[in-house]
């Protein structure tokens, strides 16, 4: 695995291209970093931003927060929800004021022992403020590592969390851990996004396995996703040079070992249009020379424990994209007729008077 090259490219992107702005970014005061992390634990950055600024203005130090009246702090917190966070915030501020004379702990073990502080928050404070080599691991980090290194272990499983934490620690730049942690979090939030990541402009393309194999929309794998009652399967039926792109489903999911077209699974109905399909092809596949033949709403299929809905999007490409030149995945009609496809695909194409063997 190209850990070193990955870390180098990521830091280069962070220093030269990362424009993401947040008021706590680059902050080395552990009180301010801790406050921002507690606010953001179950809150979007856009919403937490103003709360953070109001808290810092009202309570600029941990001592001022520790001495504040409960009702005033709760009033300032109003609207953020999950009030246990606020209770823990006050408890910990007062504990530090009483037991550490208002000085925030400076090692990971003492930081993570604070009430309301988990491994992610502890790693953020330790690395940002004290340059300690502890990797932050959250959804953004899981997603980046899963795609770049082609890992299909479920990120929300006990095994997955342990595995990805170990990988995060290995790729962490030990000389500048805070800088690296900020880089990978920002990268996951702005480039390697959950839906339609900006693969076409990604500086990690040369080391990203998901990009090379066209699996960016299949990774990371989540156990909870596999248990959803309704799933949206959107198939891009791409034809080029008399061949059609197909791939084998190898993960432990429905239809394992059967074949399918290029899959984009979404949480809700994506309501595809020619414009959104075009944007997807350009951003995700990094390909511009194509014609959209048709967009068909799939006939839903009821399985034992789930309902499958989706779309079939037919595209004619001028040639096979460099990003999808995986061996044995572009096949002719004769070969396709020998492959097993899920009933969802066969039934839809047959009812629409379109059969895979015709491509």
Give the domain CATH number at 78. 1.10.340.30
Tell me the pLDDT tens digit for each residue of 46-77.
888 999 999 999 999 999 999 999 889 888 88
Same domain flag for 131 and 234: no
H or E stretch including 183? helix 177-190
197 assigned to some structural domain: no
Q: Provide the angle, in degrees to the nearest 10, between the axes of the packed helices 177-190 and 3-16.
A: 80
Is residue 207 in some structural domain? no
Buried-state track 238-274, b at ≥16 Cβ within 10 A, e below 16: bbbeebbbbbebeeeebbeeebbbbbbbbeeebebee
Residue 155 lies in a domain: no
> Does 30 fall in a domain?
yes
For 263-292, the three-class secondary structure string (H helix, E strand, C coil) is EEEECCCCCCCHHHHHHHHHHHCCCCCEEE
Does the pTM exceed 0.85?
A: no
Catalytic residues: 37
Q: Decide if pLDDT at 7 tops 60.
A: yes
Confidence category of residue 114, pLDDT binned at 50, 70, 90? very high
The helix/strand/coil state of 100 is: coil
Distance CA 45, CA 61 (A): 22
Per-residue pLDDT band at 177 (split at 50, 70, 90):
very high
The total number of structural domains that make up the chain: 2
Sign of CA dihedral 125, 130, 134, 135: positive
Q: What confidence category does residue 105 fall into, taking pLDDT thresholds of 50, 70 and 90?
A: very high
Report the pLDDT averaged over residues 186-194.
92
Parent domain of 321: 228-358
Radius of gyration of the chain (CA): 24
pLDDT digits (tens, 9 = 90+) for 257-311: 788 999 999 888 999 999 999 999 988 888 899 999 999 999 998 876 788 999 9
Least confident of 127-141, 205-219, 222-236: 222-236
State whether 16 and 131 are in the same domain: yes
Give pLDDT, residue 328.
Answer: 58
């Amino acid at each position: 695995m190209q850990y070193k090259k990955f870390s180098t490219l990521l830091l280069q992107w962070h220093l030269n291209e990362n424009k993401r702005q947040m008021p706590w970014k680059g902050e080395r005061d552990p009180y301010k970093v801790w406050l921002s992390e507690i606010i953001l634990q179950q809150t979007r950055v856009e919403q937490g931003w103003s709360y953070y600024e109001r808290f810092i203005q009202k309570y600029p130090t941990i001592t001022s927060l520790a001495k504040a009246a409960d009702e005033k702090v709760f009033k300032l917190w109003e609207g953020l929800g999950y009030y246990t966070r606020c209770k823990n915030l006050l408890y910990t501020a007062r504990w530090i004021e009483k037991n550490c004379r208002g000085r925030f702990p400076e090692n990971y073990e003492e930081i993570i022992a604070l009430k309301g502080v988990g491994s992610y928050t502890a790693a953020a404070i330790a690395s940002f403020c004290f340059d300690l080599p502890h990797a932050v691991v959250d959804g953004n980090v899981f997603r980046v590592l899963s795609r770049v290194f082609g890992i299909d272990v479920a990120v929300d499983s006990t095994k997955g969390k342990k595995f990805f934490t170990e990988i995060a620690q290995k790729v962490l730049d030990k000389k500048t851990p805070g800088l690296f942690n900020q880089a990978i979090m920002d990268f996951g939030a702005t480039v390697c996004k959950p839906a339609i990541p900006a693969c076409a402009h990604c500086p990690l393309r040369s080391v990203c396995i998901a990009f090379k194999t066209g699996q960016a929309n299949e990774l990371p794998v989540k156990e909870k996703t596999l248990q959803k009652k309704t799933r949206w399967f959107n198939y891009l039926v791409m034809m080029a040079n008399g061949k059609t792109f197909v791939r084998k489903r190898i993960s432990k999911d429905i239809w394992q070992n059967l074949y399918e077209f290029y899959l984009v699974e979404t949480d809700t109905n994506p309501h595809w249009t020619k414009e959104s399909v075009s944007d997807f092809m350009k951003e995700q596949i990094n390909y511009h020379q194509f014609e959209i033949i048709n967009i068909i709403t799939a006939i839903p299929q009821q399985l034992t424990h789930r309902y499958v809905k989706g779309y079939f999007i037919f595209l004619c490409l001028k040639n096979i994209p460099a990003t999808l030149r995986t061996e044995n995945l572009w096949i002719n009609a004769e070969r396709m007729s020998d492959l097993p496809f899920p009933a969802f695909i066969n039934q839809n194409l047959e009812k629409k008077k379109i059969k895979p063997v015709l491509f």
